[in-house]
Structure 1
Amino acid sequence: MKNKKWWKEAVVYEIYPISFKDSNGDGIGDLRGIISKLDYLKDLGVDVIWICPIYQSPGQDNGYDISDYYAIKPQFGTMDDFDELLKEAHDRGLKIMMDLVLNHTSDEHPWFIESRSSKSSPKRDYYIWHDGKNGLPPNNWESYFGGSVWQLDEKTGQYYLHLYSKYQPDLNWKNEEMIQELYKMIRWWLKKGVDGFRFDAIAHIVKAKGLPDAENPNHLEVVQANQFFSNLEHVHDLLRKLNEEVLMESDIMTVGETSGLGPEQALEYVGNERHELNMVFQFEHMTLDSPSTGTSRWETRSWTLPELKKIMAHWQTTLHNKGWNANYLGNHDQPRQVSRFGNDKEYRVESAKMLATFLLTLEGTPYIYQGEEIGMTNASFKHIQDYKDIETLNFYKLSQMQQVPEDKIMAAIYAKSRDNARTPMQWDASEHAGFSDSKPWMKVNDNYREINVEAALKDPSSIYHHYRKLLALRKQHKVMVYGEYTLLLPEDLELYVYTRTLAEECLLVVLNFGHDTVEFEWPDQLAYDAGELLIGNYEGLPEGESEQKKTIRPYEARVYKLIKKRAQKIHCP
């Protein structure tokens, strides 16, 4: 197999620490809580644990505003706790991937405190400072969290740039001294033994020369200004240097958060000969339910299955043998996958299993977000007071100022808020869902009595056990890891069908993304007949089903290991 790597064969489980498991009864998830659940993760069958930021932070953006890269935030525990977590994970054959923010720091980081102390500060140039224009900010760019990207500092009379909140000033990647400080910090974590990094907002570390105005900036989507601070060419020079001087020293995995690109651009980051990142997170499928001509990510629209197929097939085929995919359907920044892509009401179990089958049979490293393995859903809290996310609260305030009706505001939040994925993990049916012995930092989803780990473990037909079976199959069949993806029935509105082929082995994946029963006729172009049904998400098969015509039930998923037709010598399909 060409370019075989351990991180290609791995399955990653993302943990949002504050919401995973509280060990000391303060209502906040922590490192010792993660340690207590390592056996659970090992039994599930994952290989890598991606931990969202646990560094010292004021928490303005739930840890993505780092004030000390070398310290653990006390609410999560101590560095000794982290060292124990690392050891206990490694003892179980689990690897640890850190979430690292290199685009910006907290405004409480010592670098920034020193930087803003005076224009002559030795660290002034660690950040991006500019004079205004006629009493206005240097340009009209708008931040991802609303408002201008520029914040006036009263003491020095200059503006500093922040693509996110004003509490998250962007670092200046033109400053070599600052870059070397980041290198030093990354080496420190690698020496500890961490196994990889997820680089947050890494596509934004370079800003356009001259900081030109956007033609039509928008405070909710930042669509027009993106061209001036996303995926610019110099980003690749910086990442190659980071890789050559630091990352290549260790056999680790790296994944970058890179919004706003297609697979051809992605190859500039992850191409086999590029030596930058192992893989990147793409966002095209995350915009399916947003109006293509809209101005706000909070708006929604209906989408069709052929649209999803087109996006995924483009990524699967473009990167095959040239780079590597990072596959996900949800994370800490997105709604729950079963609420977004499935049916979280009458077909919650079936659709959650179907989506798991989809995720784990694509080419690329799969990322499972905490709670997906038990089918956790969006929260849909009635009161805005129950939400914590800075982006959600800013959207609510801005919408109120614009006199948007309350029900419309909340409907958008129910569909798109990042807090949908940040409610506490549902471990059992006891008070606070077994997450904590006291009131959690954030309200638990109301459905925790029905949807929880304890119940899932006891039920052999649960979503959890379907994940376990899929993960075991992925380890047994390398075709699920390295096999070539070929899309069938691209225009079918209900069935998503594709093959995975590696040498003489071929799998056929049949997924029903709808709530109707549909007929599936065995494709004539397949040089294979139906063989063994490796896994399905329904018990048994419909009566009267033939080899040539299959009855696919609502949100059903089937994976067949195919056998060659007699006298056939050609490959599949």
Structure 2
Amino acid sequence: MSTELENPHYPRWLKDAIFYEVYPQSFRDSNGDGIGDLPGVIEKLDYIRSLGCDTVWLNPFYASPFRDAGYDVTDHYAVAERYGCMEDVIRLFEEAHRRGMRVVLDLVPGHTAELHPWFQASAKHERNEYSDYYIWTDSVLTLGETDLRMIAGDVEREGAHAINFFSHQPALNYGYAHPDPNCSWQQATHAPGPTAVRAELNRLMRFWLEQGCDGFRVDMAHSLIKGGGNQAAMHELWAEVRAWMDIDFPDAVLLAEWGKPAEAIQAGFHMDFMIHFGTSAYTSLFRKQWGFSFSLNPYGCSFFDRSGRGNIREFVDVFEREYAGSRGKGFVSLPTGNHDVAPRLADGRDAEDLKVAYAFLLTMPGIPTIYYGDEIGMKGVQGLPSKEGGYIRTMVRTPMQWDASEQAGFSEAAQSAFYLPLEERADRPDVATQMSQPDSLLHCVRQLIALRRAMPALGNEADYRTLFAEPGQVPYVYLRSNQEQRVIVAINPTAQIASVSLSTSIVNLERAELVMGVGELKFEADASVLTLPSVSFGIWCLT
């Protein structure tokens, strides 16, 4: 029987997609200046494909002063010189497509750099065509009548302007869903200024799609329209984008940085990353000790922690809701991490811990996303000074480690010229070494991806059902299934042996084949008892 949905709301290639995020300045330097570049990405496409990943999400390469690592754009149509040129971008698209791969670009629609020509014109005293491209109050003294962060007194225009993140990132004006009548400067979403900004957004998206990109990951996708109660207005904005994309570029995708997949997909996106904001569910898996005090509740650790003090329900309760709200319409993505998520997945974990984490990440429904270097267990470098606005995030943006040489195969430049320093630990992981070790994390990741692709029940579209997930208990057990196949996955990240009795009325494991991992099954009259050793996982196909 067919495994495909009859009327999917997304391009069909997403049903098999596995993403790999590339932070270009830290991936591979091809010209010896110490900074990764686009030819370096092209050079490593075969490696990415060898993992089983078929889609590259590329962080910004646009012209920028790099006060926020390229998320402060001065020209959306130009390539920053340090990365290469437009011909390199086109060649990247072509080389990826020749390999059956796709490239998704980072889109930064909510703000620009303060050095962008639009803002420089908008900040002028005289009215001009860009005056309403950004959000301005009517006085430099108007700072307290808005819930936005405002900057005043640094330009000649009478007014304060809104910022989205850093002080040098003025917010573009997509309007207010419900303008406050007491704030005459708040413009409606279809006022001339916001309408012109929408037109610019559509123009630049169309430009890159015509060059050959396969879609966009949209930075801060939920925040463009300001003011409370803006959900309907945000849906309208992205519905307009989807309307022309679906006609002119039906295979192109929209991925959201929203943090609430069911909401983002309802708004018109094909996929949303369930990450560290919007909900604490993602943080509860791997990084809870970084964001929550142990004293606040008895389950103060991440679920993927050997202590067994994690609470899988913190994740499952939210995931089940987001999964149900997006099923058949789009996808949830549970990434290994990204350029904004600190620390890396490997922090505080060894290779065996990481194999269990990957067994989870690569058997869940939705679209897997691997952040460069996570597949070999890179930890990054803690305690670094901020680089290009990275601050605490700087630790997860260090150079990719390709081999065991002094420069790790990243660059021919002296290490002193590197964009960021390499890890200095004696057991620093690298691709070449792990390729030669059959039991390495890298090989485990490749095997899990190959298994996912070989088993329809583990596919992006296949169903998910929780079988056992209790606070403070392990294992976490779930069923993946489609019309052709059923697969049981059991996860035990703790240092203790984990055992669970599953009623045969829920699932009968008597005819189960272990296809990867470890575990023992015993059968009683009305139950199947599943036991896992410490720090392990098991994947069974029900025959």
Output the TM-score relative to the length of structure 1: 0.80
Following superposition, the deviation at residue 290 of structure 1 comes to 7.4
Which residue type is aligned with residue 145 of structure 2? N
Equivalences for residues 142-541 of structure 1 within 5 A: 148-173=149-174, 174=189, 175-208=194-227, 232-246=231-245, 248-250=247-249, 251-259=251-259, 261=260, 264-269=262-267, 276-283=268-275, 284=279, 285-288=281-284, 289=288, 302-303=301-302, 304-339=311-346, 343-344=348-349, 348-381=350-383, 384-385=384-385, 387-388=386-387, 390=389, 392=391, 417-437=392-412, 438-439=414-415, 440-447=418-425, 449-481=427-459, 482-491=461-470, 493-524=473-504, 525-536=506-517
> For the residues of structure 2 that align with 1:233 and 1:25, how far apart are their CA atoms?
49
- Name the structure 1 match of 2:296: none
Question: Aligned with 1:34: secondary structure?
Answer: helix
Matched residue of 1:365: which SS?
Answer: coil
Q: Shift of the alpha carbon at 1:378? A: 4.6
Q: What code does the residue aligned with 2:406 have?
A: E
**Other structure's SS at 1:469 match:** helix
Instruction: Go from structure 1 to structure 2 and tell me whether the alpha carbon gap of 1:490 and 1:73 turns closer, same or farther (over 3 Å shift).
Output: same
User: CA deviation digits over 1:148-191, x for unaligned, max 9?
Assistant: 44343331231111121121111112421222122121111111
Asked if structure 1 preserves the Cα contact closer than 8 Å seen for 2:340 and 2:393, the reply is yes
CA offsets 1:420-449 (integer angstroms, 9 cap, x no match):
321111111212322122221111122375
Could you tell me which of 57, 61, 66 is aligned with 2:68?
61
C-alpha distance in 2 between matches for 1:554 and 1:21: 37
Q: How does 1:77-156 map to 2 (within 5 A)?
A: 77-132=84-139, 135=141, 137-139=143-145, 141=147, 148-156=149-157
Query: 3-state SS of the aligned residue for 2:345?
Result: helix
Residue 519 of structure 1 aligns to a residue whose secondary structure is strand
Deviations 1:251-293 (A, max 9, x none): 112101114x4x5534522xxxxxx211122332344327999
d(CA) in 1 for partners of 2:511, 2:342: 36
SS across alignment from 2:91? helix
Shift of 1:373: 1.0
C-alpha contact (below 8 Å) 2:19/2:55 kept by paired residues: yes
**Amino acid across the alignment from 2:535:** Y
Query: Amino acid of the residue matched to residue 34 of structure 2?
Result: G
One-letter amino acid of the structure 2 residue matched with residue 558 of structure 1: G
> Is the CA contact 1:131–1:138 (under 8 Å) kept in the aligned structure 2?
no
State how many pairs are aligned.
Answer: 487
CA–CA distance in 1 between the matches of 2:252 and 2:512? 38
Confirm or deny: 8 A CA contact 2:245 2:252 kept in the other structure: no
Gap regions ≥5 residues in structure 2: 175-188, 294-298, 303-310
The one-letter amino acid of 2:203's match is K
1:366 deviates by 1.1
| Residue 169 to residue 366, structure 1, CA distance change in 2 (3 Å) | same
Deviation at 1:450, TM superposition (A): 3.2
Looking at structure 1, the residues matched to 84 and 390 of structure 2 have their Cα atoms a distance apart, in angstroms, of 27
> How far apart, CA to CA, are the structure 1 residues paired with 2:157 and 2:289?
41
Q: 1:478 is matched by which residue type in structure 2?
A: P
Whichever residue aligns with residue 372 of structure 2, its letter is Q
Q: Give the C-alpha shift of residue 552 in structure 1.
A: 1.4
Q: Distance in 2 between matches of 1:483 and 1:76?
A: 39
- Percent identical residues: 32
Q: Is the 8 A contact 2:346 2:354 kept in 1?
A: no
Distance 1:206 1:29, change over 3 A: same
Tell me the TM-score normalised to structure 2 length. Answer: 0.84
Aligned to 1:560: 540
* Number of the residue aligned with 1:411: none
Q: AA paired with 2:270? A: N
1:433–1:449 CA contact under 8 A, matched in 2: no
Which structure 1 residue ranges, 4+ long, deviate > 6 Å from structure 2?
Answer: 290-294
Contact 1:512 1:556 in 2 (8 A): yes
Q: Which stretch shifts more, 329-338 or 11-20?
A: 329-338
From the superposition, tell whether residues 326 and 248 of structure 1 become closer, same or farther in structure 2 (CA, over 3 Å).
farther
Deviations 1:9-33 (Å, cap 9, x if unpaired)?
A: 1101000111111111111111111
Cα deviation for residue 485 of structure 1 reads: 0.7
Residue in 1 aligned with 2:305?
none
For the structure 1 residues 87 and 267, does the alpha-carbon distance in structure 2 shift closer, same or farther, using more than 3 Å as the test?
closer
Q: What value does the CA root-mean-square deviation take over the aligned residues?
A: 2.5
Which residue, out of 36, 47, 53, partners 1:46?
A: 53
1:515 CA drift (Å): 2.3
- Supply the distance in 2 between the matched residues of 1:238 and 1:47 (Cα, whole angstroms): 29
Q: Secondary structure at the match of 1:390?
A: coil
Taking the aligned partners of 2:173 and 2:91, their CA distance within structure 1 comes to 34
Q: How big is the shift at 1:351? A: 1.7
Say if 2:162 and 2:170, in contact at 8 Å, map to a contact too: yes
| SS class of match (1:420) | helix
**Partners of 1:240 and 1:496 in 2: how far apart?**
38
State the AA in 1 paired with 2:507. L
Unaligned runs of 5+ in 1: 143-147, 209-226, 270-275, 295-299, 393-416, 564-573
